[in-house]
């Protein structure tokens, strides 16, 4: 059994050095939904495991993608499958993984989302605004934003501007600390009224 | 005297087993009962799979959570062995959940693993969840 790299939390995770997953991934030809629930550091993943996850996230058959924790933005942007419609991305990281070796031809095709769940609008707006970003939310129909940080709330409006023409369902969960902080102008309210459903969840 | 089993169009078997979509034990039973139901049952059984830590490193409450027959999860090694025995199962997988969460781990179990002095008891887990015989017997008998 090869040595297992340590984890700051003192536990020994299975994923970072796993040898079976890379063998299974190539044959999963009909994968439509993927949920990666890994709360460790992505830079601790072995190259084989990292490439396997990138491979999975890039599958043309993939429609539904959920990445639970702290995926570096460069990995996410590189690996995003072309036909993903539903994305849950609670914890996008701004840092880049310097180990990541870009393929000779990086994918450039835009990925048009229909539904989006995010936890940190500040980072996500930055990702969307980057010139290399492949994500497009101009066809978005459902948006769920959860943001406990008051200072991030203005970014929600920036996010809405990308998709107001098509948005049908908008949910905002500011959580308990930020529930009174969102400020939307009259114009913005007019735009939002095009949505068939607007929810404001109290994070209590 | 002929013993041939009368067959229906494959779609109909799919319709029948679809009523059991969330009843894992019954789907397993269908998979083993007759080869005409094996493919339809396996398509539902392996539609969604979860890869998780081995039970020997999980905290007690999570061991109990993954022990039931209604959960289709296992380690990646279990899944690899399953696909080696039944390669066709890979095409049935539509949804995959990869789980590696720190709060699920038993801290002391991790220390034992590091020293490598304890044999993993994954064998039992394989039988319960990803044992190829459990799912592919009828196919191979065919």
In tens, the pLDDT along A88-125 reads 987 766 555 545 555 545 667 889 999 999 887 887 88
Domain count, chain A: 1
- A18 closest CB neighbour out of B48, B76, B114: B76
Q: Judge whether residue A183 has pLDDT over 70.
A: no
Mean local confidence (pLDDT), B114-122: 30
Q: Are A77 and A56 in contact (CB under 8 A)?
A: no
pLDDT confidence of residue A27: 95
pLDDT confidence of residue A103: 52
pLDDT confidence of residue B118: 28
B16-70 pLDDT tens trace: 888 988 888 888 888 888 888 888 999 999 999 999 888 888 887 777 666 654 5
Q: Judge whether residue B92 has pLDDT over 50.
A: yes
Q: Answer yes or no: do A28 and B116 touch at CB < 8 A.
A: no
- Nearest CA to A15 out of A26, A28, A25 is that of A25
Residue A13, in any domain of the structure? no
Q: Answer yes or no: do B75 and A20 touch at CB < 8 A.
A: yes
Residue A77, in any domain of the structure? yes
Q: How many helices (H) and strands (E) does chain B have?
A: 8, 3
Contact of A82 with chain B, judged by CB distance below 8 Å, is answered with: no
Mean local confidence (pLDDT), B67-83: 79
Q: What percent of chain A shows pLDDT beyond 70?
A: 72
Contact of A106 with chain B, judged by CB distance below 8 Å, is answered with: no
Q: Which residue has the higher pLDDT, A108 or A189?
A: A108
B63 - beta bridge partners?
Answer: none
Alpha carbon of B138: minimum distance to chain A alpha carbons (Å): 22
- pLDDT grade for A22, boundaries at 50, 70 and 90: very high
Mean local confidence (pLDDT), A27-40: 93
Closest chain A residue by Cα to residue B54: A14
Structure tokens at B72: 């289709």
Q: What is d(CA A17, CA B106) in angstroms, rounded to the nearest whole number? A: 19
Residue A45, in any domain of the structure? yes
Residue A10, in any domain of the structure? no
Q: Judge whether residue B115 has pLDDT over 50.
A: no
Domain that holds residue A124: 31-200
- A21 closest CB neighbour out of B76, B91, B97: B76
Q: Which residue has the tokens 């036909």?
A: A83
Alpha carbon of B116: minimum distance to chain A alpha carbons (Å): 8
Chain B environment of A13 (Cβ under 8 Å): 53, 100, 102, 105
Contact of A190 with chain B, judged by CB distance below 8 Å, is answered with: no
Q: What percent of chain B shows pLDDT beyond 70?
A: 65
In whole numbers, what is the pLDDT of chain A averaged over residues?
Answer: 78
pLDDT confidence of residue A26: 94
- A10 closest CB neighbour out of B48, B100, B107: B107
CATH for A111? 3.80.10
pLDDT confidence of residue A1: 41
Q: Judge whether residue A151 has pLDDT over 60.
A: yes
Residue A191, in any domain of the structure? yes
- B101 closest CB neighbour out of A33, A34, A37: A37
Alpha carbon of B4: minimum distance to chain A alpha carbons (Å): 33
Contact of A42 with chain B, judged by CB distance below 8 Å, is answered with: no
Q: What is d(CA A42, CA A78) in angstroms, rounded to the nearest whole number? A: 14
A199 - beta bridge partners?
Answer: A171
Chain B environment of A91 (Cβ under 8 Å): none
């Amino acid at each position: 059994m090869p040595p297992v790299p340590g984890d700051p939390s003192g536990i020994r995770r299975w994923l970072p050095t796993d040898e079976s997953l890379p063998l299974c991934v190539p044959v999963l030809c009909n994968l439509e939904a993927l949920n990666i629930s890994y709360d460790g550091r992505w830079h601790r993943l072995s190259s084989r495991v990292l490439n396997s996850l990138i491979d999975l996230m890039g599958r043309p058959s993939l429609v539904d993608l959920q990445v639970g924790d702290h995926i570096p933005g460069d990995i996410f942007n590189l690996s995003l499958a072309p036909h993903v419609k539903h994305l849950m991305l609670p914890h996008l990281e701004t840092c880049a993984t310097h180990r990541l070796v870009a393929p000779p031809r990086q994918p450039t095709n835009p990925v048009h989302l229909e539904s989006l769940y995010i936890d940190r609008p500040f980072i996500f707006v930055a990702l969307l605004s980057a010139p290399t970003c492949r994500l497009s939310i101009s066809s978005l129909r459902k948006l769920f934003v959860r943001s406990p940080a008051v200072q991030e709330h203005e970014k929600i409006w920036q996010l809405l501007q990308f998709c107001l023409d098509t948005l049908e369902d908008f949910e905002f969960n500011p959580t308990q600390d930020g529930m009174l902080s969102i400020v939307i102008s009259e114009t913005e309210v007019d735009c939002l009224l095009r949505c068939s459903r607007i929810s404001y969840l109290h994070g209590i | 005297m002929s013993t041939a089993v009368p067959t229906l169009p494959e779609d109909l078997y799919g319709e029948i087993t679809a009523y059991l979509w969330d009843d894992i034990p019954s789907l397993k039973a269908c998979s083993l009962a007759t080869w005409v139901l094996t493919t339809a049952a396996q398509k539902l059984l392996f539609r969604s799979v979860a890869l998780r830590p081995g039970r020997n490193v999980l905290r007690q409450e999570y061991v109990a959570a993954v022990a039931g027959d209604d959960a289709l999860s296992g380690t990646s090694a279990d899944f690899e062995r399953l696909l080696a025995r039944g390669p066709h199962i890979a095409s049935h997988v539509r949804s995959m959940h990869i789980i590696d969460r720190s709060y699920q781990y038993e801290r002391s179990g991790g220390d034992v693993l590091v020293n490598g002095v304890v044999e993993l008891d994954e064998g039992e887990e394989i039988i319960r969840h990803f044992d190829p015989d459990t799912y592919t017997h009828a196919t191979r008998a065919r």
